[in-house]
Structure formats: structure tokens, C-alpha cells
């Protein structure tokens, strides 16, 4: 394993256009998940840090909201260029703090993030910020101060999904990244600092969710909270935000199903599913963790899936041969192993992987790509989000049963349908209670609305919907010559 340089120590927060010392009295260790060594130390941000950032954002809001769209997009052009220039350093940091293999960090973690940011250059320029509806002028105006609370699994991409449309909309931002992977956020703040953004428009506070996140969610100066995280965190943010009736956008978890219909290309469907389940070492909310297959073809599927899973190389994320790096934390690795053990204890058929460490690896938060067959809907591995490279293959007897099993979850984020008949696949997709469905491996679209049904969240990100989510609607009623004024003392007004 590669050993990193001595850890970097951070003691400040980016507030009101500069680095300000945190009021924290303790620090948080950021751990390299591949080596279990300390990568950096960051301040355990305080309520006072969050308060100062929220007040700075509120003070900056009137000026930023009054800027033209052209001025905001000029900032975004500079920011995209800065991201492109800093891409290699960002990717290196994400490999170190997330454990993402080097190629995946550069192309997906950072590459998609840059693509997401750049997409708003066109979206922001073409968006209808005002329109005439009858005798009303309908305006779309910035929502205000936005607290953006982001997770550790795809940290830069999920940050771009929030802060870029918020800033283009004319909102000011306080970013609270995960304390597990905050180092890239310090680099992000430095990049933004070089893009001529007015002080207070963007602020960064690093700390723990129950302290910094909670303070931002209830703070009177914050108008909106946008969270990507767990259902538990979503409930808490909603509860705290309700104290001041905030707008709350939630992108939460998923227990996603891929349905393989009886006419599908089985080998393609299995290979693509295993690849998707192992993407980012299984740490994505979009993961197809359940694969629903015709009962008579389950054995064939399991043979293909086991062969595919066993081909994945687990190891040092800096090794070009590595397919799967470690999970991002010790707690995550322990959780995934616990789910694998539960599958075994509840009678699922293990055909690949298992709860033990990968062979030859005795350090780091590594798990094995795992495939279970014979999984039934009541098993824990079929019901709960695992957030690791674990696939449950579940048999069904007919199409309607497949749809019923797929929908039998409190989540509704993502799904997949595989069929030789695309029209049939689209029809089945329409029956799934999910916000996003891929047909025959359809690729992720950066400008299509993204979000879920049920407990997978509230609202949509990406594309036009992502920008619209940070805007308020105002109707200005204009007088019309033929309109009749109403009211007891206005009837006779000429």
C-alpha cells in the first residue's frame, strides 16, 4: 500500500470571503481508508462557526441576488475553468479520502462533477426567469440563503449538484461537507476564492452533522436546506427546518431493483449489473442491489454473476489494476460485513465473496464483492440499503410479481429494466415507483431530473429542475383595460 505524506492540519473555515479560525476546541481525524493512516485533521466545527457563516451569507444575499444572470454565469465560466485546472489534484485527494481508484476518481468523481457544473452554463442562460401569464408577470427569484449538506461517497459531484445551481439562481450558500471526506472541500474553497466571487456568497463550514448541520437547519438566516444523506438525517433536517418553515430538499437512500425480463440479453444484464453494484465500491444511492430474474433462469444468472464478481480486482486505489478500492470508513466496512453475515444467517445462497477480507489484504477498510442467490423479499439484505458491493438475486414467476417485488420497499430512487423489446421495457419502467429508471443500460444523464419517490427524498436535482429548485415564484398582477375591479366600494370606479 502507498503511504502518504504526513497529515495536513486545517484549523479554519471559509467565511465571508476569507479563512477564519474555527471556534472549535477539538479536531477530527480524516483517515485514509486504504492505509488506515491519518490523512488530515480538520476542525470539529461549532454552532458559532455555522452562525457566522449563515449571517455572512445572509448579508451577501441582497447584492448577489441583484446581479444579472450574465454576471453569475461569468463567475461560473471562471469556476469551471478552475475546476478543470485543479482536476488532477482534486482526483488525488478524493482517491486518498474516499478510497476511489485513481481512474474512477478522475473520470467519475471529478469528471462528472465538472460536467455537472458546466451544464449550468447553458441551462442558466436559457432558463425562463420571467414569463407573462394572462395579466400576470410571473417571476422566478432566488430562494435566499441555502445550506448545502453533502455526503462522503461522491462528495465533489454531489456538491456541484447543489452549489452550482444555487449560485446561478442568485442564492448564497453555506456548504457543510461530510467530516469523513472534507479535504477536497478546502481545495474547492481555494478554487472559488480565485474566481472573483463577492465575500459571503460562498461559505464553507466543516464539522459534524448533529452540530453544524443541525445549526444550519434551524438557523433563522437560512431559507432553504438541501441535503443528500440518510433517511434518518433527512427526518432530522426536516424537523429542525420546520421550526422556521424552511424549504427542505432531500436526496436520500435507495434499495433499487433491476428487473431482467424473460427475453433479455442475460449476459449483458448480469455484467452491467455487477459493474454498477461495484461502482465506487458499492457506495452509491443508485446501486441496483436487487436483481430480479425469471425463476427458471436464476441458476444461469448466478453462474454469470459469480464469474463476473470474482473477476474484480480489490486493492490499493492507486494501483491501475484495481477495480475496487476500500470502503470510505471502518464503520462502513463493519456495516457491510454485518449485512453479509445476516444474508448467510437468514438462508441466502452465497455464490461469490463473503464476509471476510479480500485475500492478501490485512489493512484498510476492504470488503469482497458478494453475490447472494435465493434471496426472498423478507430478508434483511433485500430490504435495507447496504451501501457496499453486495448483490441480491431474487427470482420471480411473472412480470407482475417482478414489479410488485421491485416496488415493495419504502424507497423509490432508481431502477432498471432489461428486455429485447425496448417498448416493453419502457412500459414496465412506467410501473416502477422510482424517480429514475434505466432501460437496457441507458447512461446517467447530467441534465435530466434526478430524485426519488417515497422515502428516497423530496424534490429534484440536475438540469432545469435542479435550477428551479433554488427559485421562488412571484406573480405580479398587471391591470387590464377590460378587467372589472371588485370589492364593495370599487364597483362604480370609472
State the catalytic residues: 251, 285
* Rounded Cα gap, residues 404 and 402, in angstroms: 5
Cell, residue 433: 415507483
Q: Which of 228, 107, 110, 102 is nearest to 175 (CA)?
A: 228
- Distance linking the first and last C-alpha atoms of the chain: 86
145-149 and 224-228: which strand pairing?
parallel
**DSSP string computed for 250-273:** EE-----EEEE-TTS-HHHHHHHH
**Cβ-proximal residues to 377 (8 Å cutoff; 6+ apart), any chain:** 383, 394, 405, 408
In the block, which residue shows the cell 492507486? 318
Three-class DSSP category at 142: strand
Q: How far is CA 292 from CA 115, 344, 404, in A?
A: 32, 19, 11
The alpha-helical segments, DSSP class H, found in 99-154 are 102-104, 111-126
**Cβ-proximal residues to 397 (8 Å cutoff; 6+ apart), any chain:** 294, 295
Amino acid at each position: 500500500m502507498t503511504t502518504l505524506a504526513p497529515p495536513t492540519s486545517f484549523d479554519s473555515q471559509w467565511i465571508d470571503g476569507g479563512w477564519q479560525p474555527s471556534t472549535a476546541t477539538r479536531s477530527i481525524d480524516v483517515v485514509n481508508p486504504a492505509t488506515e493512516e491519518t490523512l488530515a485533521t480538520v476542525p470539529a466545527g461549532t454552532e458559532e462557526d455555522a452562525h457566522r457563516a449563515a449571517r455572512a451569507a445572509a448579508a451577501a444575499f441582497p447584492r448577489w441576488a441583484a446581479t444579472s444572470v450574465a454576471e453569475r454565469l461569468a463567475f461560473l465560466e471562471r469556476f469551471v475553468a478552475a475546476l478543470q485546472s485543479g482536476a488532477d489534484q482534486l482526483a488525488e485527494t478524493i482517491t486518498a479520502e474516499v478510497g476511489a481508484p485513481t481512474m474512477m476518481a478522475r473520470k467519475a468523481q471529478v469528471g462528472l462533477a465538472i460536467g455537472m457544473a458546466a451544464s449550468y452554463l447553458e441551462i442558466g442562460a436559457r432558463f425562463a426567469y420571467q414569463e407573462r401569464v394572462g395579466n400576470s408577470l410571473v417571476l422566478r427569484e432566488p430562494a435566499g440563503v441555502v445550506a448545502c449538506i453533502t455526503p462522503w461517497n461522491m462528495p465533489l459531484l454531489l456538491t456541484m449538484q447543489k452549489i452550482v445551481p444555487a449560485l446561478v439562481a442568485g442564492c448564497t450558500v453555506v456548504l457543510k461537507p461530510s467530516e469523513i471526506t472534507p479535504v477536497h472541500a478546502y481545495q474547492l474553497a481555494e478554487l472559488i476564492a480565485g474566481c472573483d466571487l463577492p465575500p459571503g456568497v460562498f461559505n464553507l463550514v466543516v464539522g459534524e452533522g448533529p452540530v453544524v448541520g443541525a445549526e444550519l437547519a434551524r438557523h433563522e438566516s437560512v431559507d432553504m436546506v438541501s441535503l443528500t444523506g440518510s433517511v434518518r438525517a433527512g427526518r432530522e433536517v426536516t424537523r429542525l427546518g420546520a421550526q422556521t418553515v424552511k424549504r427542505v430538499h432531500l436526496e436520500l437512500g435507495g434499495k433499487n431493483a433491476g428487473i431482467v425480463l424473460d427475453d433479455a440479453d442475460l449476459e449483458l444484464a448480469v455484467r452491467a449489473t455487477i459493474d454498477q453494484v461495484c461502482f465506487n465500491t458499492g457506495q452509491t444511492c443508485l446501486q441496483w442491489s436487487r436483481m430480479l430474474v425469471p425463476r427458471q433462469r436464476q441458476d444461469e444468472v448466478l453462474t454469470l454473476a459469480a464469474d463476473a464478481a470474482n473477476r474484480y480486482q480489490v486493492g490499493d486505489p492507486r494501483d491501475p489494476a484495481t477495480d475496487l478500492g476500500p470502503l470510505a470508513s471502518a464503520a462502513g466496512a463493519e456495516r457491510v460485513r454485518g449485512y453479509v453475515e445476516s444474508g448467510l444467517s437468514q438462508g441466502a445462497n452465497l455464490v461469490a465473496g463473503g464476509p471476510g477480507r479480500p485475500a492478501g489484504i490485512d489493512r484498510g477498510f476492504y470488503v469482497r464483492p458478494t453475490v447472494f442467490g435465493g434471496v426472498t423479499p423478507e430478508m434483511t439484505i433485500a430490504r435495507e440499503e447496504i451501501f457496499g458491493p453486495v448483490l441480491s438475486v431474487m427470482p420471480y414467476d411473472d412480470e407482475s410479481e417482478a414489479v410488485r417485488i421491485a416496488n415493495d420497499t419504502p424507497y423509490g430512487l432508481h431502477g432498471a429494466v432489461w428486455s429485447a423489446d425496448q417498448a416493453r421495457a419502457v412500459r414496465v419502467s412506467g410501473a416502477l415507483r422510482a424517480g429514475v429508471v434505466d432501460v437496457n443500460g441507458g447512461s446517467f444523464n447530467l441534465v435530466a431530473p434526478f430524485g426519488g419517490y417515497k422515502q428516497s427524498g423530496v424534490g429534484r436535482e440536475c438540469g432545469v429542475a435542479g435550477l428551479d429548485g433554488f427559485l421562488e415564484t412571484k406573480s405580479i398582477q398587471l391591470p387590464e383595460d377590460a378587467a372589472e375591479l371588485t370589492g364593495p366600494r370599487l364597483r362604480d370606479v370609472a
